[in-house]
Amino acid sequence: MDNHSPALFLGDALALDFLNSVATPVEVPVDWIEDGEGFLRWLKQAGLVSPEVLEAIRAQALPGELDKVADQARNLREWFRTFVRVHKGKPLTPNALTELEPLNRLLERDEGYSHLVTRRTDEGEVLELQPMRKWRSPEALLLPVGEALGRFVCTEDFSNVKACEGQSCTLLFADHTRGHRRRWCSMALCGNRAKQAAHRLRLKSA
């Protein structure tokens, strides 16, 4: 598996999927945003930016500019990973606001506006005020990621944020299951590995 393969979206929260954009699904670490093109692919797979906008930004970017934005995205990812790991497993309190200042500084860069559009409904077309964004530079690609992180902080119960119990797994997820007993990023990945390891141990003990 390499960073051209589909990214993993197992976190049950887009902000955690962003953190999981670097992982070790099959022995070898994979970073889906290790360069500019990788970041564009991840944004498209995450549904955060339309293909048309991504293509326009790719066309206007200067040489190396997308790679620099990907570097900023990785720095943002690791900063937020530290924040999540410190606070996971317990309710997030308003006291965390000072730690989130870097995220506020990113969100302040936004050039958002609203635009009237038509939307089709069962009763016919209706007018709707839709939020839009001016994509003035490749750095604007960080803004929808920042919004996802901000929504996560404001809406997710951090008591449900867990790290996969897989031996070498680094993935994080929000446990929205009934009873909150989820242990693995995925039963197809770490869950089955753990079952196989337990089975081998039982056979060895016998």
Helix (H) or strand (E) holding 132: strand 124-133
Q: Which two tokens stand for residue 103?
A: 């995220």
pLDDT value at position 198? 52
Neighbouring-strand partners of residue 115: 130
Q: Which two tokens stand for residue 28?
A: 């070898």
CATH of 14-109+137-205, one of 1.20.1740.10, 3.30.2010.30, 3.30.360.10, 1.10.3300.10: 1.10.3300.10
Q: What is the mean pLDDT of residues 63-81?
A: 98
The residue ranges of every structural domain in the chain are: 14-109+137-205
pLDDT value at position 63? 96
Residue 199 has pLDDT above 50, yes or no: no
Neighbouring-strand partners of residue 128: 117
Share above pLDDT 70 across residues of the chain, in percent, rounded to a whole number? 91
Strands 172-174 and 161-163: antiparallel
pLDDT value at position 88? 97
DSSP string, 49-68: S-HHHHHHHHHHPPTTHHHH
Residue 127 has pLDDT above 80, yes or no: yes
pLDDT value at position 195? 63
Residue 16 has pLDDT above 90, yes or no: yes
